[in-house]
Amino acid sequence: MRAPPAVVAAFLGLAVGLTAGEGRAQCVDDELKQELVGGRHYRGVQERLFTKAFRHELSAMGGLYAADLYSSNWLVGGAYTFHFSEDLGLEASVQFTRFRSAVTDAYERRYPDIQVLDRPDKPGTLYFGHLVWSFAYGKLRWLGDGISRFDFNLALGAGVTDDSTSRGVTASGGIGSKLYFGKWFAVRFDVRDHVLREVLVGDEHLVNDILVTLGASVFFPFGG
């Protein structure tokens, strides 16, 4: 028994419609897949905003020297860092300050007949070397436009505090952060703790001096 021509035509139309729908769905699926794969590929090969490995860093810094035995005073200096990788760098620094104690001034004002012979009012120079480990990274978007990279680092080292009252080697450790702009410029913030022995008015003391600095760095070569 043959089916009526109208039924056959309806069946063929339905089959063609389903086939076309499946084709359109497959095209949509393929386009979505390509978009997702392309997005993942773009994120995977995106160029780093700032690289440090095998680059040289020159820094200028200034801040506050808060000493245990002396009054807080200004601090200025500079540093050179060679970065072995994105995470590790070796830093050498020199910084200048002035050591002055308000305690001896108050003592002499209270007892005017007694004068402190070794007056703690003298310049000081700090020579240090640190191993710097960058342990955390992040990115910062500026008002939805540019992106800057930043990191947090730990520093551990030792050096010499040249102020004629310190004794032996000064141990140093601290934490810092750098905010990177472009491919060769960064702003840095550091807090370091210096542990040393100092002699004041004939007595020897083990002290912790805190250094807080803000500075700027230039990286070579400029191209990253």
For residue 29, name the pLDDT band (cuts at 50, 70, 90): low
Partner residues linked to 93 by β-bridges: 79, 128
Q: Pick the closest to residue 158 from 130, 139, 188 (CA basis).
A: 130
Q: What is the mean pLDDT of residues 99-108?
A: 64
Q: What pLDDT is attached to residue 194?
A: 97
Q: What pLDDT is attached to residue 16?
A: 54
pLDDT tens-digit map of 65-76:
998 888 889 999
Q: Map residue 75 onto helix, strand or coil.
A: strand
Helix (H) or strand (E) run with residue 120 in it: none
pLDDT tens-digit map of 35-61:
655 555 444 444 556 899 999 999 999
Amino acid type, 48? R
Q: How far is Cα 174 from Cα 153, in angstroms, rounded to an integer?
A: 9
Q: Where are the beta strands (DSSP E) in the chain?
A: 56-66, 73-83, 88-100, 121-142, 146-162, 166-181, 185-200, 203-220
Q: How far is Cα 167 from Cα 197, in angstroms, rounded to an integer?
A: 5
Selected residue with higher pLDDT from 24 and 155: 155
Distances (CA, A) of 204 to 107, 156, 166, 193: 18, 25, 9, 19
Q: How far is Cα 134 from Cα 57, in angstroms, rounded to an integer?
A: 14
Q: What is the mean pLDDT of the chain?
A: 81
Q: What pLDDT is attached to residue 146?
A: 77
Q: How far is Cα 72 from Cα 68, in angstroms, rounded to an integer?
A: 9
pLDDT tens-digit map of 125-138:
999 999 999 999 99
Distances (CA, A) of 183 to 137, 151, 180, 215: 16, 15, 8, 17
Q: What is the mean pLDDT of residues 27-40?
A: 58
